[in-house]
Structure 1
Amino acid sequence: MTTIIRQDDIIDSVEDALQFISYFHPKDFIDAVHEAYLREESSAAKDAMAQILINSRMCAEGRRPICQDTGIVTVFVNVGMNTHVEGDLSFDDIINEGVRRAYKNPDNVLRASILSDPDGARKNTGDNTPAVIHYKMVPGDTIDIHVAAKGGGSEAKSKFAMLNPSDSVVDWVLSVVPTMGAGWCPPGMLGIGIGGTAEKAMLLAKEALLDPIDIQLLRERGASNRAEELRLELMSKVNDLGIGAQGLGGLTTVLDVKVKDYPSHAANKAVALIPNCAATRHAHFVLDGSGPAMQTPPNLDDWPRVSWEIGDSVRRVNLDTITPADIADWQPGETVLLNGKILTGRDAAHKRMVDMIAKGEPLPVDFTNRFIYYVGPVDPVGDEVVGPAGPTTATRMDKFTRTVLEKTGLIGMIGKAERGPLAIEAIKDNKAVYLMAVGGAAYLVSKAIINSKVVGFADLGMEAIYEFEVKDMPVTVAVDSKGSSVHTTGPKIWKQKIEEHKLVIQ
């Protein structure tokens, strides 16, 4: 007997799932971060995880996005061969209508990040469509759907290699993870796909990230196949790298490692690695013809209550009166609370500014002795000044940094993760500073913003130049005016500490 499934039930279920995952972390993820937080010995990493946990509870209570980057939607659909979809749209159009409604929901507007013509005009589609959709035809009388919303920062760190059959997967993973920096917002998960062809390995890695965090259960029962052996070995060895939360150095870089494999050609060993960030977002539902499948809200009592303490040694600064001399003694790893007005700008704004500088055209705002925040905020709802406004990956602005520092009078930048050698050299030469805000704490950060207005490039939407007025916005000095980077020193120190600890145990 054929199961009839209405297209509107699929649309409603996709919309509900995407709204749900925008503000509810999976419980297994929260439990794993909390456990890592409790055992963390690095104060900087512990502080970052505290902000992630506080942000998660705030988002669950306020039903607002965990991260300002509400992701590109990926959908895995298993279509039962005894089902029939009743409606007039293609299956892709059905899924995309659910995405469209979810991202334009007036009660919780989600940021549209999808651009058409990716190597040309790069025009925002306005509703975060189209999704990336994968189908399988399977026996059965239901339609089984997984939806995920993947942030651009973690997706950008995806890796692939076609290894020789005798090459070590472990060696390859350990060689590439340190090159990923912190732009994928650890602590998170690594999805690893092995075998098949190039595209199959990447698909396996992405699918692996849908599985729950259960590495502790695997440790207790032991590995039963090669994929599970790899999970255990890589979990230990990746954390031994000392990269830590947000790349600041610490005991926990990954919360779990997932491995899926597939038969491969005798001459090949395709290996893919895709990280999932601190904004882990995925949901699963099954349609059986009885109506839409709605997500069940979690019990908020399951969220740990973590406090973030502002110590006496924390430096408060007034950005409205700051000068280059004031930032000269800021130290890497130091916590700073920002007060006053900052400007914003990310990829599109930086490119336009550099083009205008080259043409001798005036910029829309004076950057002298100002700080710029790399952010693309979510639109506000209700009485919000701004929606979730966490940092974007700073390395994408590296190629613009020297020009902007030397030609505009800018003295400070705020973003996510590390800076590359080009940017660090420019920061050192211009005696500027780079500050790091916690990726994965976007709603928490937005609560420090007490006023917001667009002051330039309004046509760029979320990539316009805003002026934010902030009160006690927490950041960490990541690169000081002498060019010292905490993302270099922190992991190095903690890798050594972990190695020394293991020697003592032995």
Structure 2
Amino acid sequence: MRVIKVKDFVQSVADGLQFISYYHPKDFVQAMHKAYQKEASKPAKDAIAQILINSKMAAYGHRPICQDTGMVCAFVKVGMDAKLDKTDRTITELVNEGVRQAYLNQDNPLRASMVNPPHNGRKNTKDNTPAIVHIDMVPGDKIEIELAAKGGGSEFKSKFKVLNPSDSIVDWVLEMLPTMGAGWCPPGIIGIGIGGTAEKAMLLAKESLGEKIDMHEVLERGPQTLIEELRVELYHRINALGIGAQGLGGLTTVLDVKIHEYPTHAACKPVALIPNCAATRHVHFTLDGSGVAKLPVPCLEDWPDIAEVDKTQMRRVNLDDLTQADIESFKPGETLLLNGKLLTGRDAAHKRIVDMIKAGEDLPVDLKGRFIYYVGPVDPVGDEIVGPAGPTTATRMDKFTEFMLSKVGIAGMVGKAERGAQTITSIKKHKAVYLMAVGGAAYLISKSIRKARVVGFKDLGMEAIYEFEVEDMPVTVAVDSQGTSVHETGPKEWKVKIADMMT
């Protein structure tokens, strides 16, 4: 029987979570680079460029790829002939201790996002515990651990349905993809689980996301199994939807499609779909009693050299003296470089603002005529002004938007992903604007922030209202003052273009 030290188990989990916070897997970088090279849509190509530049910066700086450093999911396979040297804590407790150490690491603190209880109260646990842990007993004398850190923007775009045995999985997936919007930050990977029960299908989909990206290899040699044939069909047909990078329209929506299956009841066909975003983070290692896991540190030359977008042809916008005429001159899909003072606010801040105004209370900062950036930044380290500070999904703020425009008087918003129909109507009615920053480029965006201070709701932590002073922060006009949304026009245009290419 092989003995594995508890301290090695915990340290390996902590090291693994730090590792994946700033290192993309090599296969992901290569697949994203291929997508960049072939992309014909300029907005999509620029977005992929930012993702790749951000990835390389994070690898060099050992700082998070994304401000949402994720919920920890651990698949632990314990060999039946393996033994821990101490048995006073469970496997789940040991994983949680590793999570705690990783997320509280002073050299690279990671954002804690877990709240407990999940309904009433919702207090942040402060150390990102507990993890979601799946344990299996397997033959052998080693312990295998697969770690993933899943951000909320992708994890909660998951879909599930029990199909009839004769129903088409392809048709269902193609029906679901457009409903997922861009909050999962494509291009990414789609995991599909087929069979078992409801919870088993979801687990299969999640497990599949830990596999190596090999779609280009499959395409080059041709599919050799029925599952590979299904993967290839879905890959081509999903990309033919034209959703593209960040939902802006383009050639690549998915880099790969992964499928796991399991026997199921004769009367049904459970199917689950879980996306992995542009902040794909996972690592696999084995503990054999010889010490802490040795993680495969990548060679920084593996990252492609991507030139930053030429800013000389872009419009610079000064937020401090922006006029209504300026806002109404912004064109859909136009890239702007923001300068000046930008306020931040997410779900909790929006709710408190609404409650305070309804109660007749004064706000801690005047929001009239200001722009709000939907962000919850990572804490800074060293001489950083702010940690990685990428956008969160704007759709969550839709329920507050009419109030924020009509009662609070904000002039515009910055976030990621699409806005709902009612919100677009409100933007048009108030001649406001919604700007989109690239999800998956958090560290790169943080370098545009020159000053940062909390100006309201300090008790909300990363959800407090900050005032950022930004310099040349790149954004795309996603909904203009006339209500034109590039998340609607872009995919429609590219779906037609791709269909024409295939004929």
Q: Provide TM-score, normalisation by structure 2.
A: 0.99
Question: Counterpart of 1:108?
Answer: 108
State the alpha-carbon separation in 1 of the partners of residues 309 and 224 from structure 2.
Answer: 44
What is the CA distance between 1:156 and its match in structure 2? Answer: 1.3
Following TM superposition, by how much is the alpha carbon of 1:201 offset from its aligned partner in structure 2, in angstroms? 0.3
SS in structure 2 of the partner of residue 263 of structure 1: strand
CA distance in 2, matches of 1:86, 1:360: 61
Separation in 2, partners of 1:98, 1:502:
49
In structure 2, the partner of 1:28 is 27
Give identity over the alignment, percent: 67
In 1, Cα distance between equivalents of 2:84 and 2:307? 49
C-alpha offsets along residues 353-373 of structure 1, whole Å, 9 cap, x if unaligned?
A: 111122121111101111000
2:353 match: 353
2:499 & 2:310 partners in 1: Cα distance? Answer: 31
Alpha-carbon contact 1:324-1:369 (below 8 Å) kept = no
> Which stretches of structure 1, 4 residues or more, deviate above 4 A after TM superposition?
none
SS at match of 1:46: helix
Residue 91 of structure 1 deviates from its aligned partner by 1.1
RMSD of aligned alpha carbons: 0.8
Please give the residue correspondences for 1:304-323 in structure 2 after superposition, counting only pairs within 5 Å: 304-323=304-323
> Contact 1:323/1:369 (CA < 8 Å) preserved in 2?
no
Give CA deviations for 1:288-330 in whole Å, capped at 9, x if unaligned: 0111103121100111010122244311011111122220110
Matched, 1:327 2:330: no
Q: Does 1:255 align with 2:255?
A: yes
2:400 paired residue number: 400
Name the amino acid aligned to 2:58. C
Give the match's secondary structure for 1:339: strand
When structure 1 is superposed on structure 2, of 298-307 and 85-94 the one drifting more is 85-94
Aligned twin of 1:82:
81
Aligned to 1:150: 150
Corresponding position of 2:65: 66
1:224 counterpart = 2:228: no
For each residue in 1:115-167, what CA deviation from the matched residue of structure 2 results, as whole angstroms up to 9, or x when unmatched?
A: 00111111000000000000110000100000000000001100000101100
Determine the C-alpha separation between the residues in 1 that align with 2:199 and 2:422: 33
Q: Secondary structure at the match of 1:52?
A: helix
Q: Distance in 2 between matches of 1:427 and 1:107?
A: 42
Q: Supply the distance in 2 between the matched residues of 1:54 and 1:222 (Cα, whole angstroms).
A: 32
Q: CA deviation at 1:400?
A: 0.3
In terms of mean alpha carbon deviation, does 86-95 or 428-437 score higher? 86-95
1:38: which partner in 2? 37
Unaligned runs of 5+ in 2: none
Q: Which residue of 2 aligns with 1:180?
A: 180
- TM-score, normalised by the number of residues in structure 1: 0.98
TM alignment of 1:14-25, pairs within 5 A:
14-25=13-24
Report the secondary structure of 2:264's partner residue.
Answer: coil
Look up the equivalent residue of 1:371 and give its one-letter code: F
Distance in 2 of aligned mates of 1:185 and 1:264: 32
Aligned equivalents of 1:438, 1:312: Cα separation in 2? 20
Question: 1:455 aligns to what?
Answer: 455
Letter in 2 for 1:260: H
Residue matched to 2:285: 285
Which residues of structure 1 form unaligned runs of 5+? none
Which residue in the other structure is 1:367 paired with?
A: 367
Counterpart CA distance in 2 for 1:90 and 1:171 is 43
Once the two structures are superposed, what CA deviation does each residue of 1:331-359 show, in whole Å capped at 9, x if it has no partner?
11000000000100001101111111221
Report 1:262-281 matches (<5 A): 262-281=262-281
- Match of 2:83, as an amino acid? H
* 1: CA distance, partners of 2:158 / 2:106: 33
1-side partners of 2:178 and 2:167: how far apart? 19
| Partner Cα distance (1:212, 1:309) in 2 | 30
Q: What is the alpha-carbon distance in structure 2 between the residues aligned to residue 156 and residue 413 of structure 1? A: 23
* Distance apart, 1:199 and its partner CA: 0.3
In structure 1, the residue corresponding to 2:316 is in which secondary structure? strand
Kindly indicate whether residue 443 of structure 2 is the aligned counterpart of residue 438 of structure 1. no
Aligned partner letter, 1:372: I
Question: Is residue 329 of structure 2 the alignment partner of residue 342 of structure 1?
Answer: no
User: What is the Cα deviation at residue 437 of structure 1?
Assistant: 0.1
Q: Find the aligned partners of 2:312 and 2:52 in 1 and give their Cα distance.
A: 22
The 2-side partners of 1:122 and 1:11 are apart by: 27
Counterpart secondary structure, 1:328: helix
Is 1:378 the equivalent of 2:364? Answer: no
Note if contact 1:399-1:422 (Cα within 8 Å) is conserved in structure 2. no
C-alpha separation in 1, matches of 2:248 and 2:221? 32
Q: Could you list the per-position Cα deviations for residues 51-94 of structure 1 after superposition, in whole angstroms to 9, with x for gaps in the alignment?
A: 00000000000000000000000000110000111122211111
User: Per-residue displacement from partner, 1:384-420 (whole Å, max 9, x unpaired)?
Assistant: 0000000000000000000011111200100011111
SS at match of 1:160: strand
Inter-partner Cα distance in structure 1 for 2:224 and 2:262: 16
In the alignment, what sits opposite 2:53? 54
> What residue is the counterpart of 2:427 in the other structure?
427
| Equivalent residue, structure 1, for 2:160 | 160
Aligned equivalents of 2:324 and 2:198: distance in 1?
50
**Matched ranges for 1:293-304 at <5 A:** 293-304=293-304
Contact residue 227 and residue 261 of structure 1 kept, 8 A: no
In the alignment of these two chains, the number of paired residues is 502
